[in-house]
Structure 1
């Protein structure tokens, strides 16, 4: 089968023919119908991110995957049958750390699909049964594929780590694949006002379409005054860095009100620095790291789509054949067409 393979030590990514995998105990084989292209995939390819737990020389990329169960291995619960439509959790517990062996949350060494073990940029992919999430017929594979990261990661940041609240001001820096959904989810939770920040005019327009109350250019000389005006002089209750950029974090910190929280969602190897931490202490500000989502979040979000509370139809910027994965990566790097999510289709 065709698969997009990354060799982290050699720094190479290429499309290769590899054997079709066979499911072992507790596993199923998925016929992949859609796989998302994420900025994290780009960072893995350019070497700015590295797998933490990869034991093989190569790995198939792709942590946003949806498809149909093709073959069921031994010891899989009967509810999972061939033909069942599913999306796959973006990672799983290691099973061996102190938390896992004591059945506690969270796992101390979560393995990420398409990073630490083979993902879904392929015609077929393996998945342990506890990472399967059934999807309704009303949810297209292209939309279902992005729920386990592009949607669930901002959900975890908005509803969990950042504790956004109704009628409290929230800011989102970077209205791309993660940020667009953060805006949408903040709207769903009732945060107000929602301040979106992006240097691209088309991204700011998208933010307003997705539910932001205002959208600002971070280079605007009156940026700080505009944020204060939008929040009635109070500053933001919580700010989300969805871009993973040092300058974003510095600017977002300055926009926080008393006891405000900055949540770091976008991944970057850049150092985190605070020029003057006195204000951080005096105003009781907090900087919080965030990664992924909690167990059950993907199921919850799928249910929101089922009942029409969450519309992901605007999130799919285009589809491309799996064989054109390198071109999809370049399009994301170059922001060709200002994509939210590009989808690979085997």
Structure 2
């Protein structure tokens, strides 16, 4: 089919450039997807700045993009149950026979391109009424907080919870915590606009973590027993310290934001006596994505407010810079080759 436009990152030099590359051909068990939309994630920013590095990438260059939706364009050999023209989103990665998890747009080429390849096992059909711009963000921006809440956090109805960091993941966490019945939900961020947005999306209270009355204000909302769970989507060491100080008995601190810094527990006796825990969380499982697609299909989850801007694929480097600097306080920015 000739050439196509793609955003290529050199993981050694950290140079991100727009390039013309060959259109890929699907192999056995693969399909080719004509990309309609690809979400821009903070992980992409961290790949560009070198905070994150691929574990299994063959070579020095990769096409970014792990949040992808589009239309099946071509079927490889032995593909069953799928057809050309079908609307799909792609799981953000897949596990190989050795149990290693390969991430799309990190360990192999992703969706910042006009076309990309996917194994048939990573395809998820999406309903016609779910826009591609909303569908593409489900495999990470929505599924990661969903898995953090349901699997790592093990949240039950009526448990008091708090979310630190109201960007792409934390904002969705507020919506999802409300969906499963957590209460009250406290949304925490130093940016007033982020707090206001969280209140509109279902937070019962919002707090500024830099306020001198923070701890007192939080206990006024959740009660003297403290939090059942605290979620760090900010990736800031001071957040962990603040969250540990307001956990209740049996409280869980779930760390999803990446800081690449040590975690300290000031009082191990109290921590042990109260049976608290710190839990790391990364990504999601395929069933999390399919659950969320079903929830959107049944009108339990609405994502139209999640797309803060749609840009052309050609603008990928500038959009990543925009996200890095939090210009406009976005939830998710989306690239499309069709703009």
TM-score range, shorter chain: over 0.9
Q: Is the 8 A contact 1:264 1:288 kept in 2?
A: yes
- After superposition, the CA RMSD in angstroms is 0.9
More displaced, 46-55 or 309-318? 46-55
Q: Is the 8 A contact 1:40 1:267 kept in 2?
A: no
TM-score by length of 2: 0.97
Q: Which string of whole-angstrom CA distances, capped at 9 and with x for unpartnered residues, describes residues 120-177 of structure 1?
A: 0000000000000000001000000000000000000011110111111011000110
Q: Secondary structure at the match of 2:178?
A: helix
> Corresponding residue for 1:5?
8
> Corresponding residue for 2:61?
58
> Corresponding residue for 2:178?
187
Taking the aligned partners of 2:226 and 2:165, their CA distance within structure 1 comes to: 18
Question: Structure 2: 5+ residue runs without aligned partners?
Answer: none
Taking the aligned partners of 2:12 and 2:269, their CA distance within structure 1 comes to: 42
> Corresponding residue for 1:81?
83
Q: Which string of whole-angstrom CA distances, capped at 9 and with x for unpartnered residues, describes residues 162-204 of structure 1?
A: 0111111011000110001100000000000001100000000
TM-score by length of 1: 0.95
Q: Secondary structure at the match of 2:229?
A: strand
Taking the aligned partners of 1:278 and 1:309, their CA distance within structure 2 comes to: 42
> Corresponding residue for 2:194?
203
Q: Deviation of residue 17 (structure 1)?
A: 0.9
Taking the aligned partners of 2:70 and 2:235, their CA distance within structure 1 comes to: 30
For residues 112-131 of structure 1, the aligned pairs below 5 Å read 112-131=103-122
More displaced, 152-161 or 292-301? 292-301
> Corresponding residue for 1:92?
94
> Corresponding residue for 1:216?
207
Q: Which string of whole-angstrom CA distances, capped at 9 and with x for unpartnered residues, describes residues 226-267 of structure 1?
A: 111111111100010011111111111111001100001112
Q: Deviation of residue 298 (structure 1)?
A: 0.8
Question: Structure 1: 5+ residue runs without aligned partners?
Answer: 98-106
Taking the aligned partners of 1:278 and 1:39, their CA distance within structure 2 comes to: 36
Q: Deviation of residue 275 (structure 1)?
A: 3.3
Number of aligned residue pairs: give it: 334
Q: Secondary structure at the match of 1:68?
A: strand
